[in-house]
């Protein structure tokens, strides 16, 4: 039985505690948080769990085999590095760290210690995103053209990261999982409307190989919650609406065809194709429970998890480049190869 400790009991930590508590082959043995008022309700709900306000005490706990980290992004590297040094497998909330350099150092430490390092890219474990990957891998969309996403809501404002690192990270990790295309460059613009706070509205554009383009709009000041993505290809197109209680993914047999009736490109005609709409059946398992099982399975079987350190590094590289671009008013930033650090 694997013994897990959870560091951080704010917004996301209690969800991790619940899912690990309900998973097979694992026990949540201890949790930590700086605030006593967050630990009190957990002690009432899970009386067998040890609690502490000292993260170092949790990390050094000899009972624990693994640590899940759900704390502010700025603390991820230090806490994860200490956990790995203490011989614990690590699951760290997204994004993995605040820089590509620190992400790479975590990967190197995990490899040196032969420990599992996994990133909490939760959407990768949803039935909807897994189905989208399946459709793309099976060639259902044909040649891939674009990824267009809107991820907006009112709040929650983060004190240590901007809206790109908070919301766009989801789409960047989804694209990393479902697309077989390498990102080449990033451009981003954004603005802060709250004095002393980071950007709360941003637009991120990612240029990939094979003329594929991705655009993500993120916003903490929207009057409604929207989670809508369109993925276009030469054969079919996908609309993914995560706010929908059911029918989250719809596949449209729509597109264009080029008529070669003319003698040159100017005379070529575009013909439109409109076919059926298909709503595929999705796995309705809770994503975080699937993720918890993946983490435990990776530890038990000594294998690389689906959202490993390299997936975390690729995501952080894009976020880091987007930040540089945003500070330069949208200047295009070329991306280094996956294993390199700019």
- Residues 298 and 205 reside in one and the same domain: no
- Residues 162 and 60 reside in one and the same domain: no
- Residues 39 and 162 reside in one and the same domain: no
Q: What is residue 264's predicted lDDT score, i.e. its pLDDT?
A: 56
- Residues 278 and 168 reside in one and the same domain: yes
Within 13 Å of residue 264, how many CA atoms lie on the same side as its CB? 1
- pTM listed for this prediction: 0.94
Q: What is residue 262's predicted lDDT score, i.e. its pLDDT?
A: 56
Distance of CA 237 to the CA centre of its chain: 22
Q: What CATH code is carried by the domain that includes residue 15?
A: 3.40.50.720
Confidence category of residue 296, pLDDT binned at 50, 70, 90 = very high
- Give the Cα separation of 309 and 30 in Å (integer): 24
- Give the Cα separation of 281 and 128 in Å (integer): 9
- Residues 81 and 133 reside in one and the same domain: no
Q: Report if residue 312 sits inside a domain.
A: no
DSSP state of 179: -
- Residues 181 and 111 reside in one and the same domain: no
- Residues 48 and 71 reside in one and the same domain: yes
Q: Above 80 in pLDDT, residue 339?
A: no
Query: Is-cis flag, bond preceding 95, omega within 30?
Result: yes
Q: Above 80 in pLDDT, residue 41?
A: yes
- Give the Cα separation of 146 and 207 in Å (integer): 10
- Give the Cα separation of 224 and 35 in Å (integer): 31
pLDDT tens for residues 49-79? Answer: 999 999 999 999 999 999 999 999 999 999 9
pLDDT tens for residues 73-116? Answer: 999 999 999 999 999 999 999 999 999 999 999 999 999 999 99
Count up the domains in the chain and report the number: 2
Q: What is residue 255's predicted lDDT score, i.e. its pLDDT?
A: 81
Q: What is residue 338's predicted lDDT score, i.e. its pLDDT?
A: 58
- Give the Cα separation of 148 and 228 in Å (integer): 8
- Residues 137 and 44 reside in one and the same domain: no
- Residues 205 and 256 reside in one and the same domain: yes
Q: Above 50 in pLDDT, residue 341?
A: no
Q: Report if residue 299 sits inside a domain.
A: yes
- Residues 111 and 155 reside in one and the same domain: no
Q: Report if residue 341 sits inside a domain.
A: no
Q: What CATH code is carried by the domain that includes residue 271?
A: 3.30.360.10
Q: Report if residue 35 sits inside a domain.
A: yes
Average model confidence (pLDDT) across the chain: 94
Q: Report if residue 275 sits inside a domain.
A: yes
Q: Report if residue 240 sits inside a domain.
A: yes
Confidence category of residue 336, pLDDT binned at 50, 70, 90 = confident
Residue with the two structure tokens 């624990």: 64
- Residues 29 and 111 reside in one and the same domain: yes
pLDDT tens for residues 241-283? Answer: 999 999 999 999 988 877 666 555 555 677 787 889 999 999 9
Element (H, E) at 18: helix 13-22
Range of the domain at 195: 124-284+319-334
How many residues in total does the chain contain? Answer: 342
- Residues 88 and 151 reside in one and the same domain: no
Q: Report if residue 340 sits inside a domain.
A: no
Q: Report if residue 181 sits inside a domain.
A: yes
Cα distance between the two ends of the chain: 41
């Amino acid at each position: 039985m694997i013994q897990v400790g959870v560091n951080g009991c704010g917004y996301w930590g209690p969800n991790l505690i619940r899912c690990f508590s309900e998973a097979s082959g694992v026990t949540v043995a201890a949790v930590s948080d700086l605030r006593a008022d967050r630990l009190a309700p957990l002690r009432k709900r899970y009386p067998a769990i040890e609690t502490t306000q000292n993260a170092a005490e949790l990390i050094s706990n000899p009972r624990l085999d693994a640590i899940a980290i759900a704390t502010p992004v700025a603390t991820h590297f230090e806490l994860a590095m200490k956990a790995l040094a203490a011989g614990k497998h690590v699951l760290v909330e997204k994004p993995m760290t605040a820089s590509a350099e620190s992400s790479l150092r975590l990967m190197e430490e995990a490899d040196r210690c032969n420990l599992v390092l996994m990133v909490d890219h939760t959407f990768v474990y949803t039935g909807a995103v897994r189905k989208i990957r399946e459709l793309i891998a099976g060639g259902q969309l044909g040649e891939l053209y674009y990824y267009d996403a809107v991820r907006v809501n009112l709040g929650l404002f983060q004190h240590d990261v901007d809206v790109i690192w908070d919301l766009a990270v989801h789409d960047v990790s989804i694209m990393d999982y479902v697309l077989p295309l390498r990102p080449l460059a990033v451009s981003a613009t954004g603005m802060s409307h709250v004095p002393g706070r980071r950007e709360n509205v941003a637009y991120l554009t990612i240029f990939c190989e094979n003329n594929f383009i991705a655009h993500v709009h993120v916003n903490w000041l929207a009057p409604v919650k929207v989670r809508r993505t369109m993925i276009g290809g030469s054969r079919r197109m996908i609309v993914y609406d995560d706010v929908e209680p059911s029918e989250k993914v719809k596949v449209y047999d729509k597109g264009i065809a080029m008529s070669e009736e003319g003698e040159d490109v100017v005379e070529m005609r575009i013909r439109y194709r409109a076919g059926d709409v298909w709503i595929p059946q999705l796995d309705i398992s809770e994503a975080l429970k699937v993720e918890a099982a993946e983490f435990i399975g990776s530890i038990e079987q000594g294998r690389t998890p689906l959202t490993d350190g390299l997936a975390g590094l690729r995501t952080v590289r894009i976020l880091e480049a987007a930040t540089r671009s945003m500070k330069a008013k949208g200047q295009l930033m070329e991306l280094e190869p996956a294993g390199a650090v700019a």
